[in-house]
C-alpha cells in the first residue's frame, strides 16, 4: 500500500528565505506526482504536476523535483512571501491496477512566512 509522508509537518520562516518542502513515497510505481496548495478553509489549488519521466517542473518561484527511484520529491520556494503561507500537499498517482485514478496524499506541510 502506497504511503506518502511530508516533512516537516510545519515550517515557519522569515520573509525572503528560500525553502524546501519534502515529500516521500513508499511505492516508486507512480504515474505522476502533484503538488497542491490549500489555504485555510479552502479547497486545493494545483501548483505543479510532474510526470514519472520528468525530473523537475518550474512555475515562477516554485520548482518541484522528482526522484522516482528513491521515492522522493521536493518543492523549492524561492524568495518566500507572506502570501505563500498555506498548507502544501503532495499526492501521487499509481501506475498499475484498475484504480490508477486514485491519488494518495500526504498530510501536508503547514508553511508560515513571517513579514
Partner 1 sequence: GAGVSQSPSNKVTEKGKDVELRCDPISGHTALYWYRQSLGQGLEFLIYFQGNSAPDKSGLPSDRFSAERTGGSVSTLTIQRTQQEDSAVYLCASSPLDISNYGYTFGSGTRLTVV
> DSSP 3-state assignment of 83?
helix
- Per CB under 8 A, does 43 bind partner 1? yes
CA–CA separation, 64 and 19 (whole Å): 12
CB of 17 to partner 1, least distance (A): 27
**Which range binds partner 1 by CB under 8 A, 18-26, 60-68, 71-79, 86-94?**
86-94
> DSSP 3-state assignment of 82?
helix
> For partner 1, which residue of 17, 26, 42, 114 counts as binding (CB under 8 A)?
42
Q: In terms of CB distance, is 26 or 45 closer to partner 1? A: 45
- CA distances for 98 relative to 36, 95, 103, 109, angstroms: 24, 9, 13, 30
CB of 22 to partner 1, least distance (A): 16
What is the maximum alpha-carbon separation in the chain? 47
CB of 107 to partner 1, least distance (A): 5
Count of residues making up the chain: 115
Asked if 2 and 99 touch (Cβ cutoff 8 Å), the reply is no
Residues making contact with partner 1 (CB under 8 A): 4, 31-32, 34, 36, 41-46, 49, 51, 89, 91, 93, 99-103, 105-108
Amino acid at each position: 500500500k502506497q504511503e506518502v509522508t511530508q516533512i516537516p509537518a510545519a515550517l515557519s520562516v522569515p520573509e525572503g528565505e528560500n525553502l524546501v518542502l519534502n515529500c516521500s513515497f513508499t511505492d516508486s510505481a507512480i504515474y505522476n506526482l502533484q503538488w497542491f496548495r490549500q489555504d485555510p478553509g479552502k479547497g486545493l489549488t494545483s501548483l505543479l504536476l510532474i510526470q514519472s519521466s520528468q525530473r523537475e517542473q518550474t512555475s515562477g518561484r516554485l520548482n518541484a523535483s522528482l526522484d522516482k527511484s528513491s521515492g522522493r520529491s521536493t518543492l523549492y520556494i524561492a524568495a518566500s512571501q507572506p502570501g505563500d503561507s498555506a498548507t502544501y500537499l503532495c499526492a501521487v498517482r499509481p501506475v498499475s491496477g484498475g484504480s490508477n485514478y486514485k491519488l494518495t496524499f500526504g498530510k501536508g506541510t503547514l508553511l508560515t512566512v513571517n513579514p
